[in-house]
Amino acid sequence: MSDDPQTTEVLQAFQTSPEVRPRAITGQETGLDLLSFAFPAFVGRQLREAARLMRESVSGGHTVFCTMSGAMTPAGLHRSCIVPLLERGMIDVLTTTGANLYHDAHRTLGYRIREIAPDAGDTILRAARIIRIYDLAFTEDVLLRTDRLFGWLMAQPEFQRSMTTVQFHNLLGKRLHEIETRLGVDQHSLLATAWEYGVPIFVGAPQDGSIFLNAVRLRAALGDSFRFSLDVAADVHAMAALQWHAQNAGQTAVWILGGGVPKNYTLQGEPTLSQIFELDARGFDIDLQFCVDPVDNGALSSCPAGEGHTWGKVSAECVASSSMYVHADVTAVFPWLVHALFQSGMRRDSKRLMDKLPQAIARIDADLAVRREALKAGTQELPEEIR
């Protein structure tokens, strides 16, 4: 055996690491049982670690920021997983795409999204006015009716002002909750559920979605009498405020379902705090991501926790022991984890951060006020390198 201290340390760690020795599956196990012993290696081990981190996020009282990209609501992931997680107080802040919120409203109107073969023939589908999202499909009329719903909502008096995406989606959720209750839907939409449980919903690129396209139509139709607008600076400020509030109240976790803008929009709250506002932010304490993208092309979607740490997005402790990148399709593995989490009996009260958002903004504004002159100085001079 080598006398080198590093070699000795590695050998000791190896000799005390868990043995890969799963027991036989009998068919009597719960989902939680299976995740504890039947996923010994490779992506299976990643999944097992994800289950641990989700349980730790909930049992540890972490403020959970969840991001959801792609076409998750047409696939129904919100109905099976996200809405039940909101109802059990396990997601505190949600960042998603405008598309996920828009396509969810199809079901509120009574329309169905159907399974279809992905090779059914797109030119024939277009001729039949059927729209495809890989192996999901609906008729074009569904879009037109959904546009009518959001256009009518956004023309209402309470929307005629400047607001953040959080305020916008909270208002939409309130009105949709009223409509859905009157219609007697079998499950409230994502927007309506978030409003009911006080969960803020951010959308980092609202103009890249059909809900906002209706704002464009209303502006063209109504002119200056349509006064709705989104304040993107205030929106980013609100995200930073919630993260600063959460860090000062306890620990934070981020669950990343896919990648894209929702992932970056949430994670950039930490550089906003540390790099832009020069506050002592530590980054997320737990980082969990599900994505199929390769990690070697520099794309944001595939960026693992270690790379994120170099930006100050997650803490050093998170990288060492509380992060996991699960290389799998969200729809294939996340329902397993939610099932196991619910079987454990975990539940907690909603933190209702939407109600606490004004308090969070007041807190960060007060902390920034004492640094105002220092922050202002950084905007008044050219970098000395180019003077």
Residue 305 domain-assigned (yes or no): yes
Does 298 reside within a domain? yes
Strand, helix or coil for residue 116: coil
In-domain check, residue 185: yes
Residue 136 pLDDT exceeds 60: yes
* 219-239 residue pLDDT tens: 999 999 999 999 999 999 999
pLDDT digits (tens, 9 = 90+) for 10-52: 999 999 998 999 999 999 999 889 988 899 999 999 999 999 9
> What confidence tens digit (pLDDT) does each residue in 253-293 have?
999 999 999 999 999 999 999 999 999 999 999 999 999 98
How far from 259 is each of 55, 326, 342, CA to CA, in Å?
Answer: 22, 12, 25
DSSP element (H, E) containing 172 = helix 165-183
State the pLDDT at residue 297: 83
In the prediction, which pLDDT does 1 show? Answer: 54
Average pLDDT along the chain: 94
Name the domain count of the chain. 1
The predicted pLDDT at position 2 comes to: 62
In this predicted structure, the answer to whether residue 366 has a pLDDT above a threshold of 90 is yes
Q: Is 262 part of any domain? A: yes
**Phi, psi of 344, rounded to the nearest 5 degrees:** -70, -10
pLDDT for 302 equals 86
Q: Which helix (H) or strand (E) holds 241?
A: helix 232-249
List all residues 6 or more positions away from 224 whose beta carbon is below 8 Å from its beta carbon. Answer: none
- Please name which of 162, 238, 150 lies closest in space to residue 200, comparing C-alpha atoms: 238
Lowest-confidence pick of 53-67, 165-179, 370-384: 370-384
Asked whether the predicted pLDDT for residue 67 surpasses 90, the reply is yes
Q: Identify whether 2 is part of a domain.
A: no
Residue 138 placed within a domain: no
Q: Kind and range of the H or E element at 50?
A: helix 42-59
The two beta strands, 136-139 and 201-203, are unpaired
For residue 386, pLDDT beyond 90? no
Residue 258's domain spans which residues? 27-98+164-206+230-369
Distance between CA atoms of 269 and 271, rounded to whole angstroms? Answer: 6
Cα–Cα distance, 366 to 349 (Å, whole number): 28
Of the candidates 310, 302, 314, the one whose C-alpha atom is nearest the C-alpha of residue 247 is 314
- Which CATH number belongs to the domain containing residue 60 in this structure? 3.40.910.10
Q: What are the residues whose beta carbons fall under 8 Å from the beta carbon of 257, sequence distance 6 or more?
A: 66, 67, 68, 69, 72, 77, 290, 330, 334
91 within some domain: yes
Q: What is the mean pLDDT of residues 204-210?
A: 94
In a domain, residue 182? The reply is yes
Q: How many CB atoms lie within 10 A of CB 68?
A: 27
